[in-house]
Amino acid sequence: MFIRKTNTNKPKIRTTIFIPGEYKGLKNISEMNFKSDITIIGAGVVGLAIAAQVAGRYKTIYVLERNEKFGQETSSRHSGVVHSGIYYPYGSLKARLCVEGNRLLYELCRNHGIGYRELGKLIVATNDEEIVQLEELQQRGQGNGVEGLKMISKQELKKLEPNVEGVAALLSPSTGIIDAHALMGFFAARAKEGGAEIAFGKNVVGIEKLPDGYKITVEENDRDKFSFDTRVLINCAGLQCDKIAELAGINIARAGYKLHYCKGEYFTVGNGKSKLVKRLIYPVPEVKGTGLGVHVALDLEGRMRLGPNTEYVDKIDYAVDSRHKDSFYNSTKRILPFIEYEDLEPEMAGIRPKLQGPGEEVRDFVIRDEADKGLPGLIDLIGIESPGLTASPAIAKYVAGLIRNIM
């Protein structure tokens, strides 16, 4: 439990002292020599998954979230797809953690009543060149351990999806959709059951290295500040993860941690068209592309939307530019001829925390203990873009392994 003391001598910037329940009454954090075991910055799907994974194994675990609820940022602005792991380079963390996360997520959904549907997905080729790319994708996916991938002919495609046009397709049966909010609710509940505390409205504004851990300074309600110590600090701050790494003393330019924000917008498909496909339908991705291509996403209520596109931006702004409707329409009409211009309405947008800048090579997730930068016990998670939702339970297991090596 958080109990705070307020120094009333300074009415404008009040200093609040963080005192865990059992130390109630002591004035100063250093007097009580209190140190939490683990502090996680960020209650998105990744921070919550880690809290759920380690709760019960360590005495004091805090999750600090600047918003008033969990999952208010990227973790609620995505396609909600449980990816299978086809696209990512062999041996990369993205590939390994996506394939493992896919299996773990379905297990969690089945065992704990989290909404999901294993719909399957088709990546559709529109010419011979794209068929070659699909074959390469199939090989890559198989190398990554994705099961059930199958090339299908034009005729088989027509049988499965009569309203989709293409010359061939790659079928990925283990791709699906999930109720991400319910998943986060599950992780939060499991973390709390294990004794972890999730504290909202807590913005981390300072990190100071101590001989055996870190001093964290937190701002509440944009005014009050308090500090406490932690042995292990886990940076799951999503779009702010590079800034948190910088606060901890990392030169983010040298480390290659500077994020590039890459916006992805969605348009809903109305006029009763959503029943015209049964699976998730994707185009063949561009080589060295920044996304998977504008695709058909379906949600658990059966609503259809198109997205996300990719646009590098300087700031976080979730408005959808209605002028992009033309490019959405043009990019999908080849494989989805039933979609008409007037069916599309702007819906929402998310922002990818990308390490890959415009025109650059694809980058992997960074998930590491920063001991070699002189910061042991700081675990950074940088660039957790897609497939971060899918990979979340596998990321949590991976991070639990890093913590075991520290404590």
Ligand X SMILES: Cc1cc2nc3c(=O)[nH]c(=O)nc-3n(C[C@H](O)[C@H](O)[C@H](O)COP(=O)(O)OP(=O)(O)OC[C@H]3O[C@@H](n4cnc5c(N)ncnc54)[C@H](O)[C@@H]3O)c2cc1C
Which is closer to ligand X, CB of 157 or CB of 382? 382
Going from the C-alpha of 340 to that of each of 82, 294, 344, the distances in angstroms are 28, 16, 7
Quote the least distance from Cβ 360 to ligand X, whole Å.
Answer: 18
Beta strand 280-283 with 121-125: parallel, antiparallel or unpaired?
parallel
Sort strands 61-64 and 35-41 into parallel, antiparallel or unpaired: parallel
Nearer to ligand X, 68 or 128 (CB): 68
> Phi then psi for 225, rounded to 5 degrees?
-125, 145
Count Cβ atoms below 10 Å from residue 58 Cβ, excluding itself. 17
Q: Which is nearer to ligand X, 134 or 395 (CB)?
A: 395
**What is the radius of gyration, based on Cα positions, of the chain?**
23
Q: Is the dihedral of CA 107, 180, 182, 170 positive or negative?
A: negative
Q: Which is nearer to ligand X, 79 or 230 (CB)?
A: 79
Give whichever of 131 and 277 is closer to ligand X, judged by the CB atom: 277
Distance between CA 235 and CA 204 in Å, rounded?
A: 10
Copy the structure tokens of residue 386. 């897609």
Q: Which is nearer to ligand X, 19 or 204 (CB)?
A: 204
What does the block give as tokens for 99? 């394939």
State in angstroms the smallest separation of the CB of 69 from ligand X: 9
Give the residues lining the site for ligand X (CB under 6 A): 41-47, 64-67, 72-75, 77-81, 83, 202-204, 236-240, 244, 264, 308, 350-352, 384-390
Please classify residue 228 by burial: count the beta carbons closer than 10 Å to its beta carbon, then call 0-12 exposed, 13-18 middle and 19+ buried: buried
Give the distance from CA 175 to its chain's centroid: 17
CB of 108 to ligand X, least distance (A): 14
To the nearest 10 degrees (0 to 180), the angle between helices 93-112 and 128-144 is 70
CA distance 4 to 93: 40
**CB of 199 vs ligand X, minimal distance in Å:** 9
From the CB of 96, what's the least distance to ligand X, in Å? 14
Tokens of 198: 């999730």
Of residues 73 and 370, the one with the C-beta less far from ligand X: 73
CB of 117 to ligand X, least distance (A): 13
Q: Output the smallest distance, CB 99 to ligand X, in A.
A: 12
